[in-house]
Amino acid sequence: MLENRHLRYFVEVAKCLHVTKAAERLHIAQPALTQNIHQLEEELGVELFHREGHRLTLTQAGQVFLNEAEASLLQFDHAQRAAQRAARGEVGKLALGFQSMAGLSVVPHTLQRFQSSYPDVQVVLHEMAPQC
Amino acid sequence: MLENRHLRYFVEVAKCLHVTKAAERLHIAQPALTQNIHQLEEELGVELFHREGHRLTLTQAGQVFLNEAEASLLQFDHAQRAAQRAARGEVGKLALGFQSMAGLSVVPHTLQRFQSSYPDVQVVLHEMAPQC
DNA sequence: TAAAAATACTCCATAGGTATTTTAT
DNA sequence: ATAAAATACCTATGGAGTATTTTTA
């Protein structure tokens, strides 16, 4: 089964076109990396690299996959950070302006109900002067 | 290290809010799934589920992560399919219309040069009548 | 007490390492 | 001759299974 690991490894190889150097950067041994790339190509059923001797180049499909794989890794990271932000209550930081007259009556009650429904939304209050 | 597997498992649990049923759907045993979910929460540093007894519910962060995780899995699949389409020469399917006069002289030569530069682009030719 | 999640342990599949060979500069 | 990728083989981590024990509805 293909995992994110395969994408991480592929992106590194695709960028320096040199398995041994990529392996160093990834802190793994060269054969392990070679194996992962082969497995990736096998499961995709797609040749990602042209091997002309020791000269690696991306195939057309490899080029496409590089872009998509990077996007996938970014979305993966984004998912993690989003969850972490949400856990810190930054789901939606809501800035709320009010006039002092309204603030004394409407705001506290409404706010209380809102916060019981959305306990993780941080509400920031700003008292404001009337505009007209 | 978090892998795609964790997202796949999480999404399943998040959707039916029932570890045992989710495990069946994923064709793995319940303890294995529990372990994966715990590991996910551990590495994220985020509680994704409220456990009130046996009643599972998504936390706010879990809700956010569900959306993002699904997007990530979609992008992951998309990357694979894009590479496979590219490998089949569907990088850009180029439909080209021409008049018969042009077709006899310009098109073959231009086409030959184009295809040697972009061998993976499928060119579809359509002979067309003049418009005016 | 019935059903679901958590623990304890066991096993084995496989990710990754080391050593070596092949291949192409 | 050198450097890089492929191959062969081995090791060990950890993913997943079975059995069992809490839990709480």
Give me the domains of chain B, ranges plus CATH numbers: 4-87 (1.10.10.10), 94-127 (no CATH)
Average pLDDT over residues B30-41: 97
- At residue B113 the predicted structure's pLDDT band, cuts being 50, 70 and 90, is confident
For residue range B56-87, what is the model confidence (pLDDT) as tens digits? 999 999 999 999 999 999 999 999 999 998 99
Over 80: is that where the pLDDT of B53 sits?
A: yes
Average pLDDT over residues A72-101: 81
B91 and A64 within 8 Å at the Cβ level: the answer is yes
B46 and A2 within 8 Å at the Cβ level: the answer is no
**pLDDT (0 to 100) of residue A130:** 59
Q: Report the residue count for chain B.
A: 132
Mean pLDDT, rounded, of chain B = 85
Longest dimension (CA), chain B: 79
- At residue B121 the predicted structure's pLDDT band, cuts being 50, 70 and 90, is low
The token duo for B73 is 């899995």
- At residue B129 the predicted structure's pLDDT band, cuts being 50, 70 and 90, is low
Strands A123-127 and A94-98: parallel
Least Cα separation, residue A121 to chain B (angstroms): 9
B87 and A59 within 8 Å at the Cβ level: the answer is yes
CA B31 to C1' D15, in angstroms, rounded, equals 11
**pLDDT (0 to 100) of residue B119:** 54
Average pLDDT over residues A102-125: 63
**pLDDT (0 to 100) of residue A21:** 97
Nearest C-alpha neighbor of B55 from the set B29, B16, B98: B16
Task: Please tell me what DSSP assigns to residue A49.
Answer: E
Does the C-beta of A51 come within 7 A of strand D?
A: yes
**pLDDT (0 to 100) of residue B105:** 58
Which neighbouring-strand residues pair with A27? none
Over 60: is that where the pLDDT of B117 sits?
A: yes
Over 70: is that where the pLDDT of B20 sits?
A: yes
Closest Cβ opposite residue A61 in set B7, B72, B86? B86
Longest dimension (CA), chain A: 79
Q: Which residues of A touch B (CB under 8 A)?
A: 1-5, 7, 44-48, 59-65, 68-69, 71-72, 75-76, 78-80, 82-87, 91, 118-120
SS3 (DSSP) at A16: helix
Average pLDDT over residues B97-101: 63
Average pLDDT over residues B87-102: 68
- At residue B4 the predicted structure's pLDDT band, cuts being 50, 70 and 90, is very high
B46 interaction partners in chain A (CB closer than 8 Å):
83-84, 86-87
Query: Residue by residue, what is the 3-state secondary structure of chain B?
Result: CCCHHHHHHHHHHHHHCCHHHHHHHHCCCHHHHHHHHHHHHHHHCCCCEEEECCEEEECHHHHHHHHHHHHHHHHHHHHHHHHHHHHCCECCCEEEEECHHHHHHHHHHHHHHHHHHCCCECEEEEECCCCC
The token duo for A98 is 């009010």
**pLDDT (0 to 100) of residue B9:** 98
Does the C-beta of B124 come within 7 A of strand D?
A: no
**pLDDT (0 to 100) of residue B18:** 97
Average pLDDT over residues A59-68: 93
